[in-house]
Amino acid sequence: MMTLGEGHKEGITPGEEQITSDIEHTLKLATEYALSSIRSDGHWCGELRSNVTITAEYIFLRHALGLDLRTDNAAYCRYILSQQNCDGSWGLAPEYPGDVSTTTEAYLALKLLGTSPDMPAMQQARAFVLKAGGAEKVRVFTRIFLATFGLFPWDAVPQLPVELILLPSSCPINMYTLASWARGTIAPLLIICHHQPVYALPEDYLDELWLDPTDKNVPYGSSLRDLLSQGDITGLAFSVVDNLLYYLNGLRSVPLLRSYARRKCIQWILERQEPTGDWAGIFPPMHASIYAFVLEGYELDDPPVRLGIQALENFAWEDEKGKRIQACVSPVWDTALMSIGLCDAMSPDKQILQQAITWIRNRQLLKPCGDWRIYRPKLAPGGFSFEYENSHYPDVDDTAAIILAQLKQDPQSVASDSVIAAATWILGMQNPDGGWAAFDVENDKLFLNKIPFSDMDSLCDTSCADITGRILEAFGLMMKRELKRPVLSPMLRHACIRGITYLASTQESNGAWFGRWGCNYIYGTSHALCGLAYYMEDDKRVSGLVAPALQWLKSKQNDDGGWGEPLLSYRTPGTQLQQQSTPSQTAWALMGLLAHLPLTDPAIERGIRWLICSQQPEKGNGASWPEAPNKMMDFFPIFNRARPATVPTDKVVPLRYWDDLDYLRRLCHDFTFRFDDVLDASKLDAALARLTEIGNWGQLGARLRLNDQNRLEYHIPAEYTKARPAYNFTTNEYGLRISEHALGKQLPKAGQDQSVLSPSPAVFAPIVRHPDSPRKLADWIYTDRPQLHIHVSVFQDATLVTVSYVHTLFDAIARTTFFKAWIAVLRGREDEVPPFIPFEHDPLRTLGTEAPVKPYSNFGRALSGLSLVIFGLRYLWELLWYQKEEEHPIRLPRRCVERLKESARKELAAMSPDNEAKAPFLSEGDVVMAWWVRTIITALNPAPNRTIMVMNVFNVWALLEEWFPTGGAGFIGNAFFYSYTLLVASQVIQDASLAYVASKNRKALMEHRTKEQVQALTSMQRASFTRTPPVVGDANLLFMACTNQHKARYFELDFSAAVVAPGVPLSERPHALGRPSYINDIETCQGYPTRNVVRIIGKDAAGDYWLLFKTRPGAWAAIHRQLVALLELDEQK
């Protein structure tokens, strides 16, 4: 791991000064958080996450032993349900598809906890299991758990004779040829399978998960005939032995031998129990060993059982998601890595670092015990384990990390007894292939994975690149610190040469390395690169290994600058998949790159920028990086995910007809006001809370649900509580000026310089929305969250207020209605809050149901049949060909708008030289929209004869005012429809006439914005299969869309009642106290392609218009050139 201090800070160039400053500030915040989260005795320990089987199996154990579960029943259920995938399943890992065994275990656990099988989540789980082939498809370990409850026949479980414990270590197959984690689990399983216990549940307790519950004696592997035909001789041999053991009753017919084997097995297990009750520090052997002792006659109060249960309970972790059991705890690992991080960040708190290193050193395992000694009896101990207590299973990876931590904290420790003992032990654990494994040496009998009870291929602990890379790094740093031990130094060099040979033999053809203990190719490649960095000059092979690895890492960098790789890459080895960037994987990638490349390398700079911008303040001190949430739901249609249970007291109301449209479901917004003032977040919260108590405004807290007819409905709570609030309200206080924040300083503001393009609104997500803010419809309908999530980010001189919502809630005008009502309460003017039109009242419910008085004016040009198919295919082709769209905000200065409007007026006058009075009226909005059309068409440069269809949005409140109570003043919903302007590309590009475009648009708007035309349009929309508006023009048309939100008057909203102090002096800005200076609107589209779109956000206090352009990336250079030319012309004038 290279540090800025070691490799890059000296001789820094002026161009690097800014990013260096941002890095130092980011590290300062991260250090503050790290120091605030340390345990009282000087160590760190975070949560170790796993799938739900660990918690489910703990519930099985407690039920089997008759232990009470009522106290934590709800917490366990809440956690298990929170991990359910959208298709009703549970998976082995976050990005993995559903797994029938994991789902069956979760289902049984929930049922034991009292969850009704009729609950939607259970119904979805049951459907998944049956679709996957039923409970008969579960793996061997799940069969054993089900068999202990009488839900699976023991005859359908492979034979595990206890006599296996008696086989000597010299035998090709014995306990010690199994990986440590398998060894510790199989020993108690031998006892369990001998007793074949049945803690009886009703015989039909899980029959609903079977395709044929009358025949449960299903085979657990391929038949002998199939194995023979497949040529699987090893699998065939093991299956023959298993069948033979079955006919010999598992060797139970030799009672004296069986009795002796049981005693030896229990003795073996007892010898490995820690004083704290743990076995190997991991859940599976601890869980199984408790079963084994109870079956052998031990009471619950006997020390091995009592301590074992307590040790499991020590693995519990509880938070807002619920309660679960960790598979392990990781204090030594966490403390070692945190110490390395703090040293690399040059933390000034030397005392805490010394305390952490001392805490680690005190856990070095120096007694001659441990299974590793079976095959290395003369090797001196010196390793470290992962957990608090695990004296029998130190691991090489932890030990190497601790060497690094000690050397970075104190270079002189290279000669310490602790480092020398650790390095000597690692040297003795090197495999013949030159690599290192985690716990054992020469544990590479891969044929053992053919044993019938090994259906997860996890019985061996072989060499791996990530551990080998870390050891090369540790040994390289030792030799760099001028180790002067005449005996040890040559041994280190020789071991490193062999380690490099191993890495050379395992490098993928594309340059990457597989990562065994971290996900996955990014992790393996990073650690290999960090290790190889110390040998570039001494070993000529290294440069040939490093170059393709660096190139591979760079090729996997995401567009946002970060790196991400899903766990699915383990499922298809050799296939490197990309996903959204994550902090850990970005950090790993940067570690590998920084070990070989300068800080100024573009890939490194972009990666660092991503980490800087994605850092989030913590509730305590400092800041950290939240890992990405579970993305599993994106693999399946959202309607398959389990829905929350209906609360009986909720009022259920279907969404209004024009709110529940498919394209509105797919659009979610994070709408942000930037204030150049410091606002009191508590006042904002209190005012909003009061608003929800006025009249029917509390309906804003309705929960979105998807019913069985795939229609959305509101579930309105009878009352709001802390557990079920009317809205979510979160805050972040940054403790610095917005210009001092790496991302905040890039956020546009009044008078924004347009000589360079401003970043996309989505870039600012880390500072404008909370990590738990909803992003898509599924985040609402499959949780009990309210519709609104308010997030307030407070700086020393600015405040960002964000409202996150799905478009089904309201349109732009109704959004302003909400803000005005909130502000009225904030100002103490509750009398100005209009009556809320209840959701059950739909003013537009009959719109489009009656036969239109006259047809829609564009009816003859509406695409249908073959022309619509051709258009769809062409549009899809363009989406696939250009793939991504890119969005940027544009500030169009007031003087430019005035000049454009004057130019358009003169052009209109020239069109009607005889009667200037007949020239049609043009608003500023018409001119701004026309400039956008001309600019983007010029940039896209379509064929001259291509039809351009511009879809404009307008609101019908004023048009249908009599339909709305109080003129629609308290209407929260959607009431917008469309006008279509048809143009020809040549007339836009060649004539370059603003007046032509603006007048055509004004004419279309006036023609379509009538009651008769709206009725005709909505009639067509109702008649369409997907209730989407028509597409008009021809099959070759270029689709464009414009929504002019200027009438929403966002920049005129006055939040001054919440202002604590101005952030920018009023004399230095155009906007009044408490008025927004900029609006950032992140629009997230789920499966609804939008391109060539402009959102005219509005006109600010300076008279400047703000627009959001979205189009393909290749057009932006031309768009920006036109904008700069416009600005330069304005300056000349």
Q: Are 423 and 496 in contact (CB under 8 A)?
A: no
Angstrom CA distances, 485 to 285, 356, 456, 493, 1117, stand at 41, 27, 44, 12, 62
pTM: 0.66
**Are 872 and 906 members of one domain?**
yes
Q: Of 786, 817, 832, which residue sits at a domain end?
A: 832
Specify whether 603 is located in the same domain as 671. Answer: no
Instruction: State the catalytic residue, choosing from 22, 99, 242, 397.
Output: 397
Q: Are residues 678 and 603 in the same domain?
A: no
Beta-bridged to residue 1105, according to DSSP, are: 892, 1099
Residues 1096-1129 pLDDT 10s: 999 999 999 999 999 988 899 999 898 888 887 6
In residues, how long is the chain?
1133
Asked if residue 659 and residue 565 are part of one domain, the reply reads no
Residue whose C-alpha is closest to residue 462's, from 236, 736, 180, 650: 180
Whether 425 and 538 map to the same domain: the answer is yes
Same domain, 541 and 465: yes
- Give the whole-angstrom CA distance, residue 219 versus residue 203: 20
Three-state DSSP state, 783: coil
What is the dihedral sign for C-alpha 1013, 1016, 1022, 1026? negative
Number of H helices, E strands in the chain: 35, 20
Q: Looking at residue 4, what is its pLDDT?
A: 41
Q: Are residues 261 and 379 in the same domain?
A: no
- Tell me the two tokens of residue 849: 């149901």
The tokens 């199994």 sit on which residue?
A: 178
One-letter amino acid identity for 469? G
Phi, psi torsion values for 14, nearest 5 degrees: -60, -35
Give Cβ neighbours of residue 91 (< 8 Å, ≥ 6 apart): 51, 85, 97, 98, 99, 102, 632
Mean pLDDT of 124-131: 94
Question: Which residue, among 699, 732, 729, has the nearest Cα to 713 in the 3D structure?
Answer: 699
- Kindly state the tokens that stand for 994: 């603003």
| Residue 578 falls inside a structural domain | no
If one counts the domains in the chain, the total is 4
Residue 165 domain-assigned (yes or no): yes
Distance of CA 405 to the CA centre of its chain: 30
pLDDT per residue over 72-116, tens digit each? 899 999 999 999 988 899 998 876 789 999 999 999 999 999 999
Radius of gyration of the chain from Cα atoms?
Answer: 34
In whole angstroms, give the CA distance from residue 545 to residue 502: 12
pLDDT score for 78: 92
Question: E-assigned strands of 885-936?
Answer: 886-892
Q: How far apart are CA 976 and CA 954, in angstroms?
A: 5
Yes or no: say if 789 and 704 are a contact pair by the CB < 8 Å rule.
no
Tokens of 493: 């060099």
Q: How confident is the model over 241-250, as pLDDT tens digits?
A: 656 656 566 6
404 and 300 assigned to the same domain: no
Q: Does residue 301 carry a catalytic annotation?
A: no
* pLDDT above 90 for 164: no
With a pLDDT cut of 90, the percent of the chain lying above it is 57
Distances from the Cα of 479 to the Cα of 138, 404, 491, 535, 1072, angstroms: 51, 12, 11, 11, 64
Six-digit token string for 119: 């609950």
Q: Is 979 found in the same domain as 921?
A: yes
**What number is the average pLDDT over the span 281-295?**
95
Contact status, residue 1115 vs residue 938, Cβ threshold 8 Å: no
Angle in degrees, CA 1007, 917, 983, rounded to 5: 40
Q: Are strands 1038-1044 and 947-955 parallel, antiparallel or unpaired?
A: parallel
- Average pLDDT over the chain reads 87
Same domain, 194 and 262: yes
| 1038-1044 vs 1093-1099, strand pairing mode | parallel
Residue 840 covered by a domain: no
**Are 713 and 660 within 8 A, CB to CB?**
no
Q: What is the pLDDT of residues 626-645, one digit of tens each?
A: 775 433 223 223 223 446 77
The answer, yes or no, to whether residue 813 has pLDDT greater than 70, is yes
Answer yes or no: is 344 within a domain: no
User: Is residue 837 in some structural domain?
Assistant: no
301 in a domain, yes or no?
yes
Give per-residue pLDDT as tens, 498-540: 999 999 999 998 899 999 998 889 999 999 999 999 999 888 8
pLDDT at 859: 76
Residue 1082 lies in a domain: no
**pLDDT range class, residue 44, cuts 50, 70, 90:** very high
pLDDT at 363 over 70: yes
pLDDT value of position 631 = 31
Task: Spell out the alpha helix ranges (H) of 281-349.
Answer: 283-295, 303-313, 331-344
Give the count of beta carbons closer than 10 Å to the beta carbon of residue 351: 9
Q: What is the DSSP letter of 1079?
A: E
Same domain, residue pair 256 and 360: no
- CB-based contact 23:613 (threshold 8 Å): no
Cβ neighbours around 299 below 10 Å, total = 9
pLDDT in tens, 1045-1081: 999 999 999 999 999 999 999 999 999 999 999 999 9
For the residues 772-797, what does the mean pLDDT come to?
Answer: 90
Q: Is residue 334 part of a domain?
A: no
Tokens coding 416:
């310490």
Task: Write b or e for each residue in 386-402: b if 16 or more Cβ atoms lie within 10 A of its Cβ, otherwise e.
Answer: bbbbbbbbbbbbbbbbb
Q: What is the CATH number of the domain that holds 672?
A: 3.30.559.10
Residues 303 and 353 in one domain: no
Query: Which of the 8 DSSP states describes residue 560?
Result: T
Token readout for 11 is 């001789």
CATH of the domain at 279: 1.50.10.20
- For residue 296, what are the domain limits? 53-325
